[in-house]
Amino acid sequence: MQEKELSQLAIRQGYLKRMNKLVMRNSEMGVFIPFVVLVLFIGLLEPSFFSINNVASILRSSAFIGIVAIGQTLVILTGEIDVSVGSVAGLGAIIATWFMTHGLDPVSGSVASLIICAVVGLINGFIVVKFSLPSFITTIGMMYMAKGLTMIITNGYPIYPLPDSIKSMSAISPLGTSWAFLSFIVLIVLFHFILKKTIYGRNLYATGDNKEVAKLAGIRVTKIRVLSFVFSSLFAGLAGILLSFELLTGAPTIGSGWELLVIASVAVGGISLLGGSGSMMGTLIGVLILVTLNNGLVFLGLSTHWQTVAIGAVMIIAVLIDMMNRKKKLSS
């Protein structure tokens, strides 16, 4: 009997070791398992959580935060952070809709807005790199500037009506979801490939891991860092524009509070806030975890204030796990 128990114990220990190695080798697996547990837990408490309408709602809601999170991932991988993304998303939406209500067609208005948002990111990156200012402080300043410009343009009122072509496009549900979700999936697959298979991706990871060593290796660290901020603001503007299309108005509140959700999603997705490690697939799962958590708390009848508490708690846990993993790697 004792031999049988010892044998079973050895089997369990071997299984746990194999699972631990799998999770350690594959960071996405370490994020995916909690996501599955979260979905099953909420589903057991509230079976209607698995309804087609609710799943579609989760996917649509994840699109806007997800698009911004792609750009934020690039910034954080270089060891920086961009807290201006929410305000830039709002500014992008307002500029695009303002152009559309003042004679420009939707495509031209959107492109003009995206160019302006990219310039905002260029300014962020230039200040951080050229003057060695902390990215946190720099982007807080840009956050307030973007918010102020949004209020100057709108006087606090939404911009409408948008062209009829926008209304017609918004009425279409590609693949049963939305244009924003489709854009999110296309972009995350594209940048997953870029990070894993291109020189730019390898240089980005090297920059985040150790900037000085990357410079000695001939990597153009300055260009990599600035470009990551450009992408961050560009995708923030894109998300804001897509949301304004869905709402059929340029609301000055677009993007409000997104920075916390985006940074939390990236952290939960296994992207090290110190830079140099993580993946786009991790970001995808992190976004889905945060959106699913918010949706689940609503389904369980909890106050929206608990959503904020949950996001903060999850972010702290994610950062603690990242720090512990880094200590393990350094000690091994």
Within-domain flag for 238: yes
Find the CATH number of the domain harbouring 125. 1.10.3470
The whole-angstrom separation of Cα 283 and Cα 303 is 26
- Distances in whole angstroms, Cα of residue 84 to Cα of each of 9, 75, 185, 320: 52, 12, 23, 24
Can you give the pTM of this predicted structure?
0.90
Report DSSP state, residue 161.
Answer: P
Pick from 258, 262, 285, 289: which is nearest to 273 by CA? 262
Within-domain flag for 13: no
Structural tokens at position 216? 């000695």
Per-residue burial over 53-65, b = 16 or more CB atoms within 10 Å of its CB, e = otherwise: ebeeebbbbbbbb
One digit per residue, the tens of pLDDT, for the chain of length 332 reads 456 555 655 555 554 455 455 444 556 777 788 888 889 999 998 888 899 889 988 999 999 999 999 999 999 999 999 999 999 999 999 999 999 999 999 999 999 999 999 999 999 999 999 999 999 999 999 999 999 999 999 999 999 999 999 999 888 888 778 899 999 999 999 999 999 999 999 999 999 999 999 999 999 999 999 999 999 999 999 999 999 999 999 999 999 999 999 999 999 998 999 899 899 999 999 999 999 999 998 888 888 888 888 888 888 888 888 788 777 767 76
Q: How many domains does the chain have?
A: 1
Residue 45 domain boundaries: 34-326
